[in-house]
Structure 1
């Protein structure tokens, strides 16, 4: 019979696994490659559960195990599911080692800087330095044209200000599925930033699928109060997913990462 501690560990890992998979996909640029790392992490935890239970928090421990596996493999970005990951190879060489990992952990996954340090096996000062470095380096990597699908005017204005403040152009704002499809056809974007629930009860997911059926390889960032609806384990899943309420740091990080992995020819790398 399974012990209570084993049951608790299994429940904790099951709860945190969708977020580990999200992080792995964003880091590698490939759902397939990211999931391979997630499987390797689970195998490692099964062999030695103390690697998770001995951490300050089980989620921190799970991500720390990932970083052990990731670092030992040489932290490659390879075997992209599509051309969205292709440009990353060229850009990676210009980034400070470990800075992108620190940025994602802190801004996208919401770990505190002390937790980032614990996950990455460094100190808080170094974790802070890596995050700051990544923000500067990633923001300057590419520029592009961003389409926003959002039915709440205040949020749409806020997202526009953040995106334009990063040096990107906003092609327009769509409030419904139909408006989104029409806008994309009229003014093709390099990236889409999309809410899930839209003004007329239409779906931002459906809008994005309609657009991607006509225009290949546009990176997409979903913003939602219900991330579990997209992190189901079914394919395809978004590599970039921001929880509501979001912070400016989260949006900036996700946009920089999505642009980083984009191979759209109109981007100025």
Structure 2
């Protein structure tokens, strides 16, 4: 099997990981493009002794780490201009995202990061400590299934956040968001009235900026590269660890994005 055939099914998930790691669709995709260019230039750099998905993430990690000395992400629309990469502790974040979001086994994470199993545990523990230091915020939930909504509310509150409310339809979502101005939104894609959570979020973002995490049973439908896509995306059925990881990432990058955009908003 050719390398291109081997990695094709895994590219949407690498793109999701890259965006969560960098906090930007453009920045994440720039790194993924660099991986593909590297594999074209040197096919031997693709580890033949690893599973294709693990090998693909391993190559990505080598390229990501090689850029660690840069003071900016390699994209003009980076959400963190002049932000040093090492100030956001990238290695623990990698270990945490690989296990909690991408659901790699610890042995696979060790191969991807080229570290020992003990180091994987240490990195994940350090990430957990940093995530616990995130500031609490108010979270809004857009979800039409009551059981899932209750699970999300419980997880959010366990993290130290408060829930402003739950909306089941497009109309309810927009009204609740405008009234409560949450610091984070968890949004389902298919709502009770048959409308799209994407449409509701687009309308909400027309009123104010807020980080959003989309939740769907079909993530590949949103990771096509044909239009702007969610940076933070959770697949149903989800694991509690996934919610914890992505909520912390979305809040971190969302806060940085708001800060970086403030000068241009003031000048408008």
TM-score (norm 2): 0.88
Q: Taking structure 1 as reference, are residues 175 and 92 closer, same or farther at Cα in structure 2, changes over 3 Å only?
A: farther
- CA RMSD in angstroms, aligned pairs only: 2.1
Partner of 2:142: 149
Q: Taking structure 1 as reference, are residues 140 and 92 closer, same or farther at Cα in structure 2, changes over 3 Å only?
A: farther
User: For the Cα contact (< 8 Å) 1:21–1:34, is it kept in 2?
Assistant: yes
Q: Which runs of 5+ in 1 are unaligned?
A: none
Answer with 41-50 or 251-260: which moved more.
Answer: 41-50
Partner of 1:22: 16
Partner of 2:122: 129
- Counterpart CA distance in 2 for 1:88 and 1:22 is 24
Deviation of 1:19 after TM superposition, in Å, equals 1.2
Partner of 1:187: 180
- Counterpart CA distance in 1 for 2:153 and 2:76 is 29
Q: Taking structure 1 as reference, are residues 88 and 172 closer, same or farther at Cα in structure 2, changes over 3 Å only?
A: farther
Q: Does 1:63 align with 2:57?
A: yes
For 1:216-231, what aligned pairs fall within 5 Å after superposition? Answer: 216=209, 218-231=210-223
- Counterpart CA distance in 2 for 1:33 and 1:61 is 21
Deviation of 1:92 after TM superposition, in Å, equals 5.7
* 1:200 alignment partner, SS class: coil
TM-score (norm 1): 0.88
Partner of 1:211: 204
Deviation of 1:93 after TM superposition, in Å, equals 2.1
Partner of 2:166: 173
For residues 114-140 of structure 1, the C-alpha deviation after alignment (integer angstroms, 9 at most, x for no partner) is: 111100000111112211221221131
User: For the Cα contact (< 8 Å) 2:68–2:85, is it kept in 1?
Assistant: no
- Counterpart CA distance in 1 for 2:69 and 2:169 is 40
User: For the Cα contact (< 8 Å) 1:86–1:262, is it kept in 2?
Assistant: no
For 1:91-170, what aligned pairs fall within 5 Å after superposition? Answer: 93=87, 95=89, 98-170=91-163
- Counterpart CA distance in 2 for 1:173 and 1:245 is 19
User: For the Cα contact (< 8 Å) 1:220–1:240, is it kept in 2?
Assistant: yes
Q: Taking structure 1 as reference, are residues 185 and 91 closer, same or farther at Cα in structure 2, changes over 3 Å only?
A: farther
- Counterpart CA distance in 2 for 1:149 and 1:126 is 38
User: For the Cα contact (< 8 Å) 2:69–2:85, is it kept in 1?
Assistant: no
Number of equivalenced pairs: 255
User: For the Cα contact (< 8 Å) 1:162–1:252, is it kept in 2?
Assistant: yes
Q: Does 1:261 align with 2:253?
A: yes
Q: Taking structure 1 as reference, are residues 55 and 208 closer, same or farther at Cα in structure 2, changes over 3 Å only?
A: farther
Partner of 2:266: none
